[in-house]
Structures are given as structure tokens and as C-alpha cells.
Amino acid sequence: MPPCEKKKNVYFCRHEAAYMTDTCFIDEPRIWDSIAANAVPDPARIDEILAKALEGNGLESADVAALLAPMPQEQEQKLFAAAFTLKEKIYGNRIVLFAPLYITNECGNRCAYCAFSADNANLKRRSLTSDEIAQEVRILQDMGHKRVLAVYGEHPKWDAGAIADSIAAIYSVKQRPGAEIRRANVNCAPLDVDGFRRLKEAGIGTYQCFQETYHRETYAKVHPGGRKKDYQWRVEAMHRAQEAGVDDVGLGVLFGLFDHRFEVLALLAHAESLEKKYGVGPHTISVPRIEPAQNSDLSLNPPNVISDPVFKRIVAVMRLAMPYTGIILTTREKPELRRELLRMGISQMSANSRTYPGAYADELINKPEAQQFWVGDERSLPEIVRDLQDSGFTPSFCTACYRLGRTGENFMGLAKTAFIHSFCEPNALTTYAEYLADYATPELREAGRHFIDAQTAAIREDGRRDAVQKRLAAIDAGKRDVYV
């Protein structure tokens, strides 16, 4: 099939015509026009945009472009404060925790920034068997994790059926009541509609796929070979997933490949396209930055270095632009920066991550000969949990929404009205209580229960406070998987 062609500043999509309109939703000239028109915004306009953002209805492209432009430090602090206020209003002080579970590093793509590239002859390739998957799951369960992100390279043998079988292996491990993995999200190569239906039937949670870069020319340069070379097939993956009934999808770009302003506006356009077509935008957005990877010169010298100050701005702006969407921070970042970003809109983060197949059994966090990229935060799950608590956040292991049908458009309706807070707060407290009871040291357990009791006492609504207290008592009595 011939590539999309550009006519009058619009890309005409020949691919997947049944699911797309007659124009591609990533309109590069329009994005650049928005960036240029808002390159030097008036300070009064910035204040107006921040006030508008706090209403919780999202922002338009021009508003986002203005917030990404240089601004005085005083206004930047207002930006950060607005992002944190909005996140707290919608999701409360909870931070959802998860762990990636790498199933395979076999891959047929030639991505210039990734150690899994087919060009990397030095990488030790491995795909986990069902027994090895079960072993990794048991270790994660023993840590206290309740949700995982299953990660796959793009290889012919890892088709929808094989991925579905691996998901079944994850869910099959039940060592004792309450210790099971309750939510398996998936990060894998784009599939056709039938393939996504197979994953839906397997019971996956969110389907996650990053475009890496929305800039077509850059995309072609960093993806010279493999199926991933097809920009359009990848950018339309979420539309096919929605068509198949996978209504929780996760977007993301790899910051450092191209101009961050373009990437943020393009990501916003992608989200708007999904919402327009299916009534629901992305469930999550991930914000990874390029990290060193074996045999990748590009990863050591990113084309567009994203400094920490710029990265903070990106996170805060994305929270204001798409307030209802979960923003995920990975362990690529150092603990100090992760701690700062929690106050700029982050709502989910990975913990104790390892980025190669069989890593949890190996007990090595960074293993250059096998891993996808270098991990910046090497803290254990208990260390991260304690740090969150000491910083005033509730560590959450909740998976309730997915099992009660609060997904897709249903979830977004609750999030956009901030009513989701009524579920997030109680479930964060009860799942944290479970973690403390089953996995924490006596010292952390005692400190954690003091924290939970204080958080519970601060709940204003009598009925909701009483309901949380009853569930906490049930957990103390031995009941598990208690949620609303």
C-alpha cells in the first residue's frame, strides 16, 4: 500500500480507511503554526490560561503552545502549582504503583534508541516460557505488586495468540488469597482489529503503545527497518484497539527524539482524535526520556536533549491540557526528580522496575547485556512506598475500576467531573492497608497505619469515612481485595 501523501498541508490516509477520516489527525503544518503564533505570549494571557486550566476542562492547542513557551520563573511556579492542584482535585493524593514485566526482548525492529534493536548483535535475547513468567509473577506478588505492565518486543512469534497465552500465565498465579496480580496492562506492537479483540478476551487492562515521535521525518530516521517503520500503522493502533473494544489505551512519546513542543501538541491532537471518534481519550499518557542503551549512539547523544527544567514543564502542561488522564512516570528518572514531579501532576509511577526478561529472578536492576535501557531509580518497592508516604502521598495498589467496568467512556465521565476521587481515595487507603498488613516491616506497618488513620479521619463526608473504616476493619480481620 502506498504511503500517505501530502496535499495542501494535509496528509491523506489510505491506511485503515474504515476507522479514519479522510485526513490524518497529526497535521504538522498546523502544529508548527500554533507554536509560532504562541512563541511569545503576554504574561496576562498566561494567567488567563492557568485560570482556564483550573476549571478542569482541558486546553486547546494554542493554549498549550503558549504554556510551553518561555515564561518568567514566577509564572512557571504558578504553572506547577496549578498542575498539582488539578491532579489533587481529580485523583486526590494517591499515586498508583506498578511494575513492568518484560516477557521478551526479541525484536525485528531497528530502532536507533533501543537496546532491543535487531541491529544489536551483542544483546542476549530471551523470551520467557509460561513457567518462567509464573516465576517472575510470584516474585512480584511477594513484593506486594498487584498490577504489572507486560512488555514485548515486536517479533513474529509474539502474535496476539502468544501474548494472550502469556497474559493467562500471569493471571494464573495465585499463591494465596489476596496475593494475585489483579491487572495486567500490555505494551506490545500494534495489532490488527482481530488481534486486539484477542487481547480484550484475554482480560488485558490498558493497551499501551508509544508513537516515540510524531514527527514523520524524524520517525523515519530513527526507525529504518522492521514493521515499526510504518508510521501510519503505528499511529492508528489506538483507533483499531478502540474498534476492537479495548477502551483503555495509553499514549506516549520518547522525549529527546524531537522538539518537545511539537511532540506535546501532536500527542494532544492524537488524544482529541480518539475522543472525537470514540468519545474517550487516552486512559494514560507516559513521559519517558531517552536513557542510555546498549549499542545505541543516539541514546547517548539524544538529538533534542530535554533538561530537567523543561521536563518539569512538559509534565505540568500535559496535566493541565488533559487533566482527566493518568500521567505515568517511569524509573528512567532519578529519585530526586521523581519526587519533584509528583507535585507537577504525576498520578502513576513504576516501582522497583527491571527492564529485561527474567530480571526479577536475577535480582539485578541494571544488566547492560540484557536490558532495554538504564534504570535511574533503583530503590526497592518498600523504599518508594515509604518515600511517598513521607511526602504526603498515599501509595495505591488499586485495580477496582477495571474490574467494575469503570473503563473507557465510563471512567472518563467520572474523571472529568472529579467524581472518580470518591473511588480513588477509599481504594488507595484500603489497598495500602493490605500492603502494610501482608508485606511491610513492623516499623513501616506502624507508620503506615498512623498515616492511613489520619487520612481516613480527614475525609469530610461521614458516609464515605465510615465506609473506609469498615473496610479497614475487614482487612484487619483477614479479608482481602476490598474495594468500591
Does residue 21 carry a pLDDT above 50?
no
**How far is CA 476 from each of CA 96, 123, 166, 445, 466, rounded to the nearest angstrom?**
22, 47, 34, 12, 15
Domains of the chain, by residue range, sit at 87-416, 421-476
Task: At 143, list the grid cell.
Answer: 513484593
- Residue 203 banded pLDDT, cuts 50, 70, 90: very high
Average pLDDT over residues 406-434: 77
**Angstrom distances, CA of residue 443 to CA of 142, 436, 440, 447, 473:** 18, 10, 8, 6, 20
Give the CATH class of 87-416. Answer: alpha beta
Q: How many CB atoms lie within 10 A of CB 450?
A: 11
What's the rounded Cα separation, in Å, for the pair 57 and 214?
Answer: 24
Contacts of 443 (CB under 8 A, 6+ apart): none
So what's the pLDDT on residue 358? Answer: 97
Q: Which helix (H) or strand (E) holds 328?
A: strand 326-329
Q: What does the pLDDT read at residue 2?
A: 38
Q: Given pLDDT bands bounded at 50, 70 and 90, which one contains residue 421? A: low
The C-alpha atoms of residue 330 and residue 206 are separated, in whole angstroms, by: 16
Percent of the chain whose predicted confidence (pLDDT) is above 70: 92
How far apart are alpha carbons 267 and 265 in whole angstroms? Answer: 5
Q: Contact at 8 Å (CB) between 476 and 438?
A: no
* pTM (two decimals): 0.92
462 pLDDT higher than 80: yes
Distance CA 181, CA 147 (A): 6
- Which stretch of 101-105, 188-192, 406-410 has the lowest confidence by average pLDDT? 406-410
**Do residues 76 and 317 make contact, with C-beta atoms less than 8 angstroms apart?**
no
Q: How far apart are CA 484 and CA 481, in angstroms?
A: 10
The model's confidence at residue 415, banded by pLDDT at 50, 70 and 90, is low
